Amino acid sequence: MTRIKAAVKQDHALIKDLYHRLRDADPESRDPDEFVWALGRYLIVEDLVLTPALENHIANGGARHRRLSNDFDSITTKLRHMRRFDPSEPSFDAALTAIWVDLEPHVREEATMDLDDLEQHLSHEESTALGKKYEDIKELLQHPYGKNGVPDGDTLSAILDLSRQELMIKIGLF
């Protein structure tokens, strides 16, 4: 079974790879949907699993929860903004870079501080249970969609526009 730190870091690696592939792709043939979906799904699962775990298990967890919630709001707003542009437009590149400006320090801080702190305060079993919950919710969000599990643009926009409460109800967590 996967511990929470490994599950989150696996998503970090996927998102970094997709970002770099999207950024470096020929602007005329870029398809941002896989990156947008991987990042959106990660933010949702992080918000539902990792953020509450940090708040409940580590010192200053409430402050970290607020910081992660602010990151969630900022990055999802920037994702919605980026989706307004055609991938071949210079504005798309600027919007993609703006996402990375928020995302890169978020990932770095989470990987080097938050996850290590959390693992120190969890037993192996607790970490494995959180890792399973993280993967289960990610899998739940993954299945009903088209090519490579990526929803079409309309579905993707609808998911990103849901409030946290509405999303939790839709995926059966409430």
Average pLDDT, stretch 84-113?
94
Judged by DSSP in three states, 59 sits in coil
d(CA 18, CA 16): 6
**8 A C-beta contact, residue 58 and residue 108:** no
d(CA 109, CA 31): 28
Query: Average pLDDT over the chain, rounded to whole?
Result: 85
pLDDT at 141: 74
The residue type at 168: M
pTM of the model: 0.83
d(CA 32, CA 10): 20
The two structure tokens encoding residue 91: 């504005």
Q: Nearest CA to 14 among 33, 38, 31, 37?
A: 38
Digit-coded pLDDT (tens) for 131-163: 998 998 887 777 555 556 666 666 666 666 767
CA–chain centroid gap for 101, Å, is 15
Overall number of domains in the chain: 1
Average pLDDT, stretch 76-99?
93
CA–chain centroid gap for 77, Å, is 13
Digit-coded pLDDT (tens) for 6-17: 999 999 999 999
d(CA 44, CA 30): 24
Average pLDDT, stretch 27-34?
90
Q: Give per-residue burial for 33-43: e unless 16+ CB within 10 Å, then b.
A: bbbbbbbbbbb
The two structure tokens encoding residue 35: 């990156």
Range of 85's domain? 4-170
d(CA 58, CA 35): 31
